[in-house]
Chain A
Amino acid sequence: MYEIVDHPIDAAAVTAAVADPHTGATVVFIGTTRDHNDGRQVTCLEYEAYPEMAVAEMRKIGDTARQRWPIERMAIVHRTGVVPIGEASVVIAVSAAHRRAAFEACHFAIDRLKEVVPIWKKEHFDGGEVWIGSQTGQRF
């Protein structure tokens, strides 16, 4: 399951998507919007995606993770539009026979997502709004 959605994410459904009788460990990462950043009081976050490419890049993350770790399944769902404080903007679930692979693959997936998946975040705060840019700059 690799999806961009414009409604609240059902974390239980994402978790269920990686269920498999061969697995003994499921790791779920839920990224939720935080009420502060960089000393500012954040009122909400707004996400925009290049949906067709974002889904393709998320699928590549799953394929890469499967080559590096003995995991069974991965699911990534990212929400777009305005996400109120405290709600999930991204949910990643990974299942594996053993926990170490599931933890490491999940950690890899969220880090990689933030580097390559074409999704952008606008922070709305008291007195303004700003598109958040990556700190790493150009990659090519």
Chain B
Amino acid sequence: MVVRLRFFASLRERLHCSEGDFTLADGSNVEDLWAALCTEYPQLVELGASVSFAVNREYVNREHRLSNNDEVALIPPVSGGIDVRDC
């Protein structure tokens, strides 16, 4: 199956890429996708648990099973709003 990947912020800069298609085995879950991405892009490995995932614009856990044509966003720690530490 093929999923559509979207990368944002620090991940986008790290990969020099904002989106692209990725092929993986039928039945794969988010963790399988992450493992495959880490193999192809070793610079992702150190990010490990800090990355969250959204499938078709909903947060999912790493056991979430993927389907063909899913839009999968890799979400680095979010930081909208204004203050960093005190709000």
Majority-rule SS of A interface residues? mixed
A119-B61 contact in complex given A50-B6, A110-B87, A135-B85, C-beta closer than 8 Å: no
Chain A residues positioned under 8 Å from B62 (CB to CB): 140
* A-B CB contacts (within 8 Å), total count: 105
Whether A134 touches B8, Cβ cut-off 8 Å, given contacts A111-B87, A140-B52, is: no
Contact of A117 among B76, B78, B84 (CB under 8 A): B78
Mask for B40-67, Cβ within 8 A of A = 1, else 0? 0000000001111110011111100000
Chain A contact patch, size range: 35 or more
Q: Are B81 and A134 in contact (CB-based, < 8 A)?
A: no
Report how many residues on chain B are interfacial, defined by Cβ distance under 8 Å. 31
Given contacts A34-B83, A114-B79, 4 further A-B contacts (CB under 8 A): A48-B9, A50-B75, A117-B80, A119-B78
Interface residues of A (CB under 8 A from B): 31-34, 37-38, 47-50, 52-54, 56, 78, 89-90, 110-111, 113-122, 131-140
